[in-house]
Structures are given as structure tokens and as C-alpha cells.
Amino acid sequence: MSSVDLAPWTSVTDATAYGRALLVGDRVRLRALHEEDLPQLDRWWQDEELMALQADAVRPRPPGSQTETFRRWSVNDSSTAVGFSVVARDGGELVGHVTMWGADVRTRCATLAIIVGSEHTGQGYGTGAVRVALRYAFQEMGLHRVQLQVWAANDRALATYARAGFREEGRRREVSFHAGRWHDEVLMAVLEHEWRDLATDP
Ligand SMILES: CC(C)(COP(=O)(O)OP(=O)(O)OC[C@H]1O[C@@H](n2cnc3c(N)ncnc32)[C@H](O)[C@@H]1OP(=O)(O)O)[C@@H](O)C(=O)NCCC(=O)NCCS
């Protein structure tokens, strides 16, 4: 359980400490999307190297094509979805973007998607961002479950999600086509009580 959970929440001091810490982890801070983040996020999204990992097809689109989508993901004006820019905790450099969408009052389940820029992968930012996002999901959005889909060949993402507490729930067989062959998709999720039992501080 994280230090944010342990706050007794009986005073203004507790409430402001919670607000300060909620979106901050060891490695990253999640913050609102800034207009100046958009060109870089759009470039990462169009990066052919990352495209086969996160999209149905390697199909580069003109610069700026994803800008409106990142804006829409990050508008944060409802209780059903959120999107944040991910910045390094030290220095504040933009390293990626994380979103959770599709929650509703009855199911309290959202789907998580994340991208870390290619020059920033493998440095703990993805794990850190997913952990902070889960804290936000369960402590602030009131979710019961967070789910995601990942191509079975994306061992780096699978390792990241497992470390943050996601468990494999099943597979959609041969749904993705790259390099002339079919690939499976792994379905993963983490439940609120599982997350509480993890006892990790993001
Ligand atoms: C998936 C992603 C979010 C992970 O974020 P990240 O910052 O790279 O992840 P981290 O550095 O926190 O952790 C990566 C883990 O995978 C391991 N890893 C790194 N490169 C790897 C590789 N090529 N193969 C297998 N494992 C790898 C790391 O060792 C680390 O695990 P460890 O700490 O147990 O050693 C990020 O790499 C990304 O956005 N990639 C491009 C797009 C993508 O794959 N999106 C996900 C779509 S579902």
C-alpha cells in the first residue's frame, strides 16, 4: 500500500499532501497535457519502430494526424476517462503519455493505454507511469478494474504491466498481422483489491 493510501485524511494538511503526491511516482509525474507536448507525442505515435507494437498496422500518417486524438484523450472533463502527459520526475522532460478510458458508473472498469518515447524506453518510466495511473484509477476515479490489450510479442510491455500488477486473463488468437504472419493479443487486468495487496509505492 502506498504512502498516499496511508494518509489518515483528517485535516487540510492531509488533503493537500494527498493532492501533491497523487500524480507523482519515484520516476515520473503525470500532468495535464500541454499544447507544446503535442508535436513530440505525435512524432512518437508515428514512429515506425513503435507502430508495430501499438497499432493494428504499420501505416504512418502525415505529421499532426494524432494531435487531435491526444487532445481528446487528455481533456479530463468527465469521470469516465483521463489522459496525462508523462514527464520525468527529475527535470520534467516529456517521456510519454498515458490514458484510461471507457469507465462507467456500473462496471467501474477502464482500459489503459500508454506510450513511452523510443529514446526513453527501458528506463523505468513505463512501469512508473502505469503504477501512478493505477493509483489514480483506484484512489481517485473509484474504479474497480483496469484492463488492457497487448500484442503477445511485446515482451517489454508484458513485463512492465506484470510488474505493475496486471495479470493475464486470456488471449485473442491470431488477431494481429505483421511480418507476413498472425500474432496473438494478450488480455490483462488488475482489480482494485489486487492492487491494494501489492503494497508498492509508485
Ligand atoms: C511498453 C512501454 C510502455 C514500457 O515502458 P518502459 O519505460 O520501456 O518500461 P520500463 O523501463 O519501466 O520496463 C521495461 C521492462 O521490460 C524489460 N525490457 C526492456 N527492453 C526489453 C526488451 N527488448 N525485451 C524484453 N524486455 C525488455 C526491462 O528490462 C524492464 O523489465 P525489468 O525492469 O524487469 O528488467 C514502452 O516501452 C513503450 O511505450 N513502448 C512502445 C509502444 C508500446 O509498446 N506500447 C504498449 C502497447 S500495449
| CATH class of the region 3-198 | alpha beta
Q: How far is the CA of 8 from the centre of ligand 1 (A)?
A: 35
- Distance (Å, rounded) from C-alpha 60 to C-alpha 54? 12
Nearest-atom number in ligand 1 for the CA of 148 is 48
What pLDDT score does 10 carry?
85
Q: How confident is the model at residue 85 (pLDDT cuts 50, 70, 90)?
A: very high
Q: What is the pTM of this model?
A: 0.93
Q: How far is the CA of 5 from the centre of ligand 1 (A)?
A: 27
Among protein residues, the one with the nearest Cα to ligand 1's atom 6 is 126
**What is the distance in angstroms between the CA of the first residue and the CA of the last residue of the chain?**
10
Q: Are 59 and 51 a contacting pair, CB within 8 Å?
A: yes
Among protein residues, the one with the nearest Cα to ligand 1's atom 1 is 157
Return mean pLDDT, the chain.
Answer: 93
